[in-house]
Amino acid sequence: MENKVGLFYGTDTGNTEVIAHHLAELWKISELELIEACDMTAADYDRFDIIIIGLSTWYDGDLQSDFENFFEEFKTIDFSGKVVAMFGLGDQTGYPEYFVDGLGILGEIILENGGYIIGMWPNEGYEYDESKGLYDEDHFYGLALDFENQYDLNEPRLEAWIKQVEQEIEEMVEEA
């Protein structure tokens, strides 16, 4: 695949950054550019047809701070023709009513603005009460990772998710 992928990530204490860098190492099918959310502009989103977004959720269902500050601009981005995959970090035990809400807050906008989301992830194996991160009854908008309670599952989940996303992209390229 020739298209470069843009990976936008927002982190407050570094956890999402660790995952973003690990993802970049494991990513095989194309070049990938990492962009930290504190540096991003709406124009950066225009540069990529395939986008990965990683963010954590904070303070009872709020976006990670850089995405929070950028949210009004995020709502103006035209995602039509773009393919987006997301991963979200959260704490299902500490914040069971807001687990990975950030995934859904951004996911809704991406869909409203014409984007196509891949990499939706089954919600099996997590224990929480409510989540805006759910796309439907059984799936999050993207990969959900929990450093606080399921740290050991990060690696296998990330590897499986990358495989899923790469496969979905390759199938789209073949069909095009």
Ligand X SMILES: Cc1cc2nc3c(=O)[nH]c(=O)nc-3n(C[C@H](O)[C@H](O)[C@H](O)COP(=O)(O)O)c2cc1C
Q: Which residue number is nearest to ligand X in terms of Cβ? A: 90
Choice between 6 and 54, CB closer to ligand X = 54
Choice between 16 and 123, CB closer to ligand X = 16
Judge whether 126 and 96 are in contact, CB under 8 Å.
no
CB of 99 to ligand X, least distance (A): 4
CB of 122 to ligand X, least distance (A): 17
Q: What whole-number distance in Å separates Cα of residue 156 and Cα of residue 63?
A: 25
Judge whether 7 and 44 are in contact, CB under 8 Å.
no
Choice between 6 and 90, CB closer to ligand X = 90
Interacting residue ranges for ligand X, rule: CB under 6 A = 11-16, 56-61, 64, 89-91, 95, 98-101, 147-148
Judge whether 128 and 99 are in contact, CB under 8 Å.
yes
Q: Which residues contact 150 (CB under 8 A, 6 or more apart)?
A: 92, 125, 126
